[in-house]
Chains A and B, each alone.
Chain A
Amino acid sequence: MKQNDFIATHNDFWNELEQILQTGNINSLGKEQRRQLPHSYRRVCHHLSLAQLRNYSPALQNRLNRIALQGHQLFYARKSRFLQDAGRFFAVDFPRSVRAHKYYVLVSALVFFGPLIALLVAITNDPTIAYAVIDPETAEVYKEMYGERGTIKDETAVGMFGYYIWNNVSIALRTFAMGLVFGLGAIFILLFNGTYIGAVAGLLTTAGLGNNFWPFVAGHGAFELTAIVLAGASGMKIGFALLIPGLNSRRQALKNAAQAALPMIYGFVMLLILAAAIEAFWSPNAWFSNLTRYAIGVTLWVLVIAYLLFGGRGQESRG
């Protein structure tokens, strides 16, 4: 069959199918159109195949390619199931994913908490070390901030909630992304934050403000610090895939690693939102004694760790 005869035979069908595909959304099709779609799609695939085989002109092949591609996109579009699966995600997938990456999480925790604790201990012994990390002016700002309880409450809590989301979630997401730089980006951010937080904690404790600082951070620490560690772990995961792709190509190894890290990413974002709410609405308030607030802080640490260690065990994997 010559090309023009081929076109004359099928042109009406193509025009009609193009009209239907123009909508680009399966939900806006009528019932009959939806029933016809698989058949029409296969038919145009067949036509494209014939056009390629018979060496029909590039214009015709392009047109059929475009129709088949639009059909393919409509036909194979996947509905996102994330929201429907949210329950299962929190109960099973997130803690499982953390355990599946336990070595990354442990290394990340070491890189973050190592300098934090080291600096805290060092500064307790020699308070001047704090000024190696924080310049004196900034140190004064921190001291003032935690000087009296009232100064924190002056900010409207809702506004601080927004600030914590913007600031903390952004830092964590950036930690993941920077992991692509051979894992070094993530490690650097972890080291930097561990060092800085350790220095601030040491500075305030040695300045005699520990009774304001520690009860404040006790509430949200479990969520926020865990989230930072997980962000570092997810970043190292992709950096490691780039360095040591194993039996896969680097391209494929990166793809697999990023997909595998996704539950941790969704998870640490959720932890940080929780932390922001606590930090904004609970932490600045002194409704309870410091002892109660420490107890709550410790309880939350135990709960978070238990959740990540035991959540979703014994459940069938979705595969």
Chain B
Amino acid sequence: MLDTRIKVQTPEGIELALSPAGLLPRCLARLIDTALKAAVYLLLLLIANLLLGDIAPVFIYLGAFAIYWLYDLLFETRNNGRTPGKAVMGIRVVNSNGAPVTLSTSVIRNLLRVVDFLPLMYLLGAASTLLTHTFQRLGDIVAGTYVVYAHGDHEMLSRDNRMEKPLPLSLRAVDHQAIMLFDERISALSEERVNEIAGLLGGHISGTPAEIRAQLQAHARWLTGGSA
């Protein structure tokens, strides 16, 4: 329904919808990962210098290498497309067919961080994320990966269908969907927003906002109705 969804065809002949994650959750995820990397590196410096003496340098260099080049790669391939930062933000990396990211695509998207980082602070990657409708940075485009929300949006299934009311006029399928979506999202919206949408959606109904809202909900119940 939303135009940012990415549709993926599966061999079973169905279309799955992926919700790509926008700039903000991705920036926050990166911030968390960067902080974590820095913390691990400082810890490594401390431990190596205190305990290892002469052989400390090799651990520091190899550790720096692993943190810089392998951290994202290992977490993405081992933990279902999620680095710790991404896991906190509820996002993950998937291949373009919706399956979990593989070694080869993860290698490519993470090596190309170098370019996305240019000229500083991931400016190029951020621009690319904003300019592509699939929210991909350059590394994602070249690797063929998406960063998507791990879970869909709202879910509300149990509905009281006692007060259902048939629709007085014949509407298109998308309008049915809009009425049901309105009903399902009411709990997540502010009172003012609910009334505003009710006014737009129930243009044919006269009455106070509360009455319009109640009638729309009754229509929604009628649409989903049944014996349950």
Q: Which residues of A contact B (CB under 8 A)?
A: 1-8, 11, 24, 41-42, 45, 48-49, 52, 55-60, 62-63, 65-66, 68-69, 72-73, 76-78, 80, 82, 156, 158-159, 161-163, 165-166, 169-170, 173-174, 176-178, 180-181, 185, 238, 251, 254-255, 258-259, 262, 265
Contacts and interface: CB of A to CB of B under 8 A. Distances in A.
A258 B157 contact: no
A163 B177 contact: no
Interface in B83-107: 94, 97-100, 102-104, 107
A16 to B, nearest CB: 16
B40 interface: no
B214 interface: no
Interface in B44-61: 54-61
Interface string B178-208: 0011011000000000000000000000000
B219 to A, nearest CB: 12
B151 to A, nearest CB: 6
B127 interface: no
Nearest to A162: B61
Contacts of B115: 177-178, 180-181, 185
A48 to B, nearest CB: 6
Given A2-B226, A57-B180, A68-B16, A7 B157 contact: yes
B181 A170 contact: no
Given A55-B177, A57-B181, A57-B184, A259 B157 contact: no
21 contacts: A1-B226, A2-B226, A5-B227, A11-B157, A24-B80, A57-B224, A58-B181, A58-B184, A59-B181, A62-B154, A73-B100, A77-B100, A78-B99, A158-B55, A166-B61, A176-B111, A180-B142, A255-B142, A259-B108, A265-B107, A265-B111
A77 B228 CA distance: 37
Contacts of A6: 226
A64 B181 CA distance: 15
A178 B18 CA distance: 30
A78 B97 CA distance: 12
Contacts of B184: 57-59
B16 A65 contact: yes
Contacts of A57: 177, 180-181, 183-184, 220, 223-224
The 10 closest A-B pairs by CB, nearest first: A162-B61, A4-B226, A159-B57, A2-B226, A162-B58, A4-B228, A177-B114, A57-B180, A5-B226, A3-B224
B58 A60 contact: no
Contact of B228 (A5, A165, A174): A5
Contact of B176 (A42, A52, A55): A55
Given A48-B14, A176-B111, A169 B65 contact: yes
B27 interface: no
Given A58-B181, A262-B107, A80 B152 contact: no
B119 to A, nearest CB: 11
Nearest to B60: A162
Contacts of A73: 80, 94, 98-100
A60 B157 contact: yes
Which among B14, B99, B177, B180 has the greatest number of chain A C-beta atoms within 10 A? B14
Interface string B16-58: 1110000000000000000000000000000000000011111
A163 B57 CA distance: 8
B16 to A, nearest CB: 5
A57 B64 CA distance: 50
Contacts of B177: 55, 57-58
Contacts of A174: 114
Contacts of A176: 111
Given A4-B225, A58-B180, A254-B141, A165 B61 contact: yes
Contact of B108 (A55, A66, A156, A262): A262
Nearest to A266: B107
Contact of A63 (B104, B152, B220): B152
Contacts of B57: 156, 158-159, 162-163
B114 to A, nearest CB: 4
B156 A59 contact: yes
B159 A4 contact: yes
B3 interface: no
A52 B174 CA distance: 11
B61 A49 contact: no
A269 B56 CA distance: 23
